[in-house]
Amino acid sequence: MILDTLPDPAIASKGCPRRTRLQIDLILLAIEALELGGSEAILGFAQELELKGIIKDRVNLWRMRSSNPLRRAHIRRPLTILEAKALVVIACYIARRLTVVIRQLLMIYQQMYEKQIPLEQNLRLSNYLERFRAHFKSRMNARRSGLLVLNSDEKLDELAINLLGQLLFCTGTAGMQRFWISLFDGEVE
């Protein structure tokens, strides 16, 4: 099975650490901002990659993502390693499909940053950032202490650009495995 390509981390069997749940959810949020109908794409890839046993439907996907403690609708449910693997595999497959778009947005950002041009000047980049901010603000609980540093549009834009870089990282050679291992960096004993 495709999930076997990702190694099992040496952590306690109680589920994924907090930071891992947060990172997976943020990557999926960036995908939703990149692609209209991103949650449909996630469910479509679950079907295509034969992961329907893990990600059964929209409600099941919502429950997995709501294990992120910074969400408004946070539920105290652990995200299992198997569920995390399935979400990472799907995110990486979608990222591969969107590689050209991700590269273009990062190049546009780099050029605009170097020339000190406001990011709103580019329609494509501006649309991505606007959708990301809207998704983030509607789904995350702004009163959580972990989100107090993301209290401005500029900080959210910075996070959105960093997530594009992580998505591009997922598309590289052994990107899925490298991204998976990075989720547990510092968490493994």
Tokens of 161: 């650009």
Task: Determine contact, residues 68/144, Cβ cutoff 8 Å.
Answer: no
pLDDT at residue 13 in the model? 64
Between the ranges 116-130, 132-146, 148-162, where is the mean pLDDT highest? 116-130
Predicted local confidence at residue 188, as pLDDT: 47
pLDDT digits (tens, 9 = 90+) for 157-187: 999 999 999 999 999 888 899 999 888 876 5
Rg of the chain taking only CA atoms, in angstroms: 16
b (16+ CB within 10 A) / e for 57-72: eeeebebbbbbbbbbe
State the CB neighbour count (10 A cutoff) for residue 109: 20
- Look at residue 49 and tell me whether its pLDDT is greater than 70: yes
Q: How far apart are CA 185 and CA 81, in angstroms?
A: 15
Give the predicted TM-score (pTM) of the model. Answer: 0.89
* Cβ-proximal residues to 107 (8 Å cutoff; 6+ apart), any chain: none
In this structure, what are the phi and psi dihedrals at residue 43, rounded to the nearest 5 degrees? -65, -35
Exposure of 142 in the CB half-sphere (CA atoms within 13 A): 11
In this structure, which amino acid lies at residue 4? D
At 140, is the secondary structure helix, strand, or coil? Answer: strand
